Structure formats: structure tokens, C-alpha cells
Amino acid sequence: MRFSSRMSGVRRSYIREILKVTQNPEVISFAGGLPSPDHFPAQAFAKAASEVLTDCGPQALQYSITEGHPPLREFISRRYKETWGLDIPMEQILITTGSQQGLDLMAKVMLDVGDEVLIERPGYLGAIQAFSLMGAQFLTADLVPGGVNLDQLAQRLRERPKIFYAVPSFQNPSGATYDADTRREVARLIEESDTILLEDNPYGELRFKGEDVPPIRAFMGSDKAALMGSFSKIASPGMRIGWIAAGPDLFHALVTAKQASDLHTSIFAQRVLHRFLETNDLDAHIAVIRKAYGERRDLMVEVIKREFPAEVRCTEPEGGMFLWGELPKGVSAEEVFAKAIERKVAFVPGLPFYVDGTDNAFRLNFSNSTPERIEEGITRLGACLKEVLARHASTASGCQCDAGAPLEI
């Protein structure tokens, strides 16, 4: 096979491969980035689907326009206005087949082979994949308390990357959130630069502690930003409906790329989702999810504090679906993973979230496990961590030249 050279740069999703290992129901998995199915509004969707097909069957099943179902785009535009006072007209909102497609389209319209993209460190794996597929080179700026390292950001922007990709609220994988001052400064730096901000916000509505903060875009006077969103975490990921909002030139290019990519997103799914949104109280639904996730997050933090060795530092996110852990330097999360699988507990080693081979971190998902499984799984994982760290301590104090498993990649 004579594959394109772009394929050699793309790693098959590590996470999706891990998910296969964890399909055994005995394994307690904190690996998947899955919302809790307990809160999917299946009956409300059933009612919406039936109404859509009865009221406007042929239009829900015929080809449709690339830009997306206009009333759904109006709903999104109105919500930006009501929530943040942001003016994003529906004419600038393109419905995508999940926000992953927003990443694919941005990569297509912006990147030539070798072009630079600035991402957070650690960064969202799906973005690394989509940008890699179009031949991107990566620059990184570290995530730090309060958001992104602004000195690093300013420095990297001077290298004129085409895109800065940011997930400023409850980021995947780290759970990190930019505070308002950081957002304001990021907005200023972007407006002074030659770089477009691609702001992704799949988790922003899932805050269970602290104060909501507006998108970075709200601090900008220009439309030098594309803003992505998704219904995956607040309604259903299986529908595959997200969006990307952009100024006229970029919007036009994105529509052209989408035509060539899948013509349009399932109009059946779009209409069913829109009917659901029209006939249900989305905010009340989100409040239920926030409460449930907040309780699971609190429990996971509590059990971690009790069961994990003190050398392992974990974040305490104020929203979203993920906790991030860091091991002492030289201890690989892959080693912990191997041990954990033996004890039937799983997570995602941090390696695929870095473009520089860093491997001493890991991601834990708390949204998709019951309290019982969180209690039991984190306890098991604590035992694994103690065992691995003890082995490292004895190795360090004993024979330093022990070959063992490779600890750095």
C-alpha cells in the first residue's frame, strides 16, 4: 500500500485501544472520557424523534444544507447571548459531526504540512490527532495553576503558529481552568499576534464549584477566534452534534471543507436534538448532571487523599469529567497501568497527551463510575501506586543500574 505520508505522523487513539482492554465488566475503568449514561434523556429523545418524524418526516430524512439546521443554529446563538452577552449570529455557526469534526475542518482549512500549531501541555489527544493528520508541527505552552503559562504563550506566539488551540474550562486531560485574568491576557496576546485562537469548550457548562467564567472570545474585540462547542456532555455524545463559530472568511472556508467532508451532519439527529432542546428545560437537565458529577468528583478526591501515596499529586477540578495525577519524575504511568490492569482497575497513562514523550502523569475519569466503584477502584489504584513507588524507592537506594522496564520514552 502506498499510503500518504501524513498517516505516518498519526497515532491510533491510545485511549480507544485502552477501552478495548477495559471492556471486561470486572475491570473498574476510569479510562474512558464518557459522560454518565444515567443522565441521557432517552425518553425525551424518543418523544422528540416521534414528533419530528410525524410533523416533518420527509425534511428530516432528505439531504439538507451544509451549514446545519437553522433553528438549531439560532438556539446556539441565543444561548451565547443569554449566558455571556456574546453576539455570535447564527450565520456564523456551522453545525459539525461532533466537535472532533470542528478540529478536522480547522486543520484542513488552515494547515499545510509543517505548519505550526500551539497547544496546551498536556493537550487534548483528539486535537493532536486531527492536527497531525494534516501534517502539523506542535509548539506547547504549559498548563499552570490559573490557566496557561503566559510568558511561554507570549514567546511561542512570536513564532507565528497558525493556531493556538485552548480548552480553557475543565480541560481534557488535566481538568485545568483559566481564571478571568488569564483569559483577558490570552485574548490580548492573541489580538496582537498572527495566530488564530481555536477555543474549545465541551465541558464549560459542567461546573460544580466556584464561579462561571466567560469564554476567552468574550474578552476579544475581534473575531480572531473560532469557538467550538458540543452537545455531547450536556445531552448525548452518540448524536454527534457539535458546532464551530467563526467570522465570515473563516466560516466560508469551513463550509467548503465540510461539503467535501460529509456534505452535512445528520439532519435527523439535528432535528431530534433541536426538538428536545425546544421542549425540555436544558438548564434543569444540566443542573442534575452538575450535581451528580460534583458528588463523584468530591468522593474521588476524598478517596485519593486517603489512599494515594503523598508523592502522587492530583488536581482538584471545579468542573468537567477528569482528574489529573502526576507521579514523581522517573516513574512511568505505563508501569502503574500494567500493575493496575492485573488488579482490574484502569486509567489512561499521560503519554498520548504530550508531544514530547513525558510519561509520568495519568488521567482519571470520574463522571462515569458509581460511588461504589470509585471507592473500590481508587483504593485498588492506591495499592498499585504504593507498590510501584516502593519498588522505585528500593531500586533507587539499592542497585541504580537495574535495567528493569524502560522508565522514559
Asked if 68 contacts 243 with a C-beta cutoff of 8 angstroms, the reply is: yes
Asked if 53 interacts with a copy of itself (CB under 8 A), we say: yes
In the complex with a copy of itself, the residue whose CB is nearer, 16 or 78, is 16
Name residues contacting a copy of itself, limited to 70-109 (CB under 8 A). Answer: 96-98, 100-101, 103-104, 108-109
Any residues with CB less than 8 A from the CB of 125 and at least 6 apart, and which?
13, 14, 15, 172, 173, 352, 353
Asked if 10 interacts with a copy of itself (CB under 8 A), we say: yes
Supply angle C-alpha 48, 54, 60, rounded to 5: 75
Report the nearest approach of a copy of itself to the CB of residue 108 (Å).
6
Report the nearest approach of a copy of itself to the CB of residue 220 (Å).
16
Asked if 352 interacts with a copy of itself (CB under 8 A), we say: no
**Rg (the chain; Cα; Å):** 22
Supply angle C-alpha 323, 216, 211, rounded to 5: 55
Nearest to 269 by CA among 26, 101, 138: 101
In the complex with a copy of itself, the residue whose CB is nearer, 46 or 390, is 46
Report the nearest approach of a copy of itself to the CB of residue 96 (Å).
8
In the complex with a copy of itself, the residue whose CB is nearer, 22 or 332, is 22
Question: Residues 28, 31, 60, 351: which binds a copy of itself (CB under 8 A)?
Answer: 60
Question: Residues 22, 29, 31, 64: which binds a copy of itself (CB under 8 A)?
Answer: 64
Q: Which amino acid is at 341?
A: I
Residue-wise DSSP of 37-73 = GGG--HHHHHHHHHHHHHHHHHHHHS---TT--HHHH
Segment near a copy of itself (CB under 8 A); pick from 176-184, 200-208, 229-237, 289-297: 229-237
Asked if 21 interacts with a copy of itself (CB under 8 A), we say: no
Nearest to 243 by CA among 63, 80, 16, 61: 80
Nearest to 374 by CA among 338, 328, 321: 321
Site string for a copy of itself, 123-162 (x = CB under 8 A): ---x--xx-xxx---------------------------x
Report the nearest approach of a copy of itself to the CB of residue 234 (Å).
12
Question: H/E element holding 29?
Answer: strand 28-29
Report the nearest approach of a copy of itself to the CB of residue 67 (Å).
10
Q: How far apart are CA 381 and CA 310, in angstroms?
A: 14
Asked if 32 interacts with a copy of itself (CB under 8 A), we say: yes
Q: How far apart are CA 221 and CA 280, in angstroms?
A: 34
Neighbours of 5 (CB within 10 A): 8
Segment near a copy of itself (CB under 8 A); pick from 170-178, 256-264, 289-297, 377-385: 256-264
Segment near a copy of itself (CB under 8 A); pick from 1-9, 283-291, 336-344, 349-357: 1-9
Report the nearest approach of a copy of itself to the CB of residue 59 (Å).
8
Asked if 286 interacts with a copy of itself (CB under 8 A), we say: no
Residue pointed to by grid coordinates 458528588: 295
In the complex with a copy of itself, the residue whose CB is nearer, 213 or 364, is 364
Residue 82 C-alpha from the chain's centroid:
24
Question: Residues 90, 110, 355, 385: which binds a copy of itself (CB under 8 A)?
Answer: 110
Q: How far apart are CA 59 and CA 8, in angstroms?
A: 42
Asked if 118 contacts 110 with a C-beta cutoff of 8 angstroms, the reply is: no
Question: Residues 18, 28, 31, 49: which binds a copy of itself (CB under 8 A)?
Answer: 49
Report the nearest approach of a copy of itself to the CB of residue 62 (Å).
5
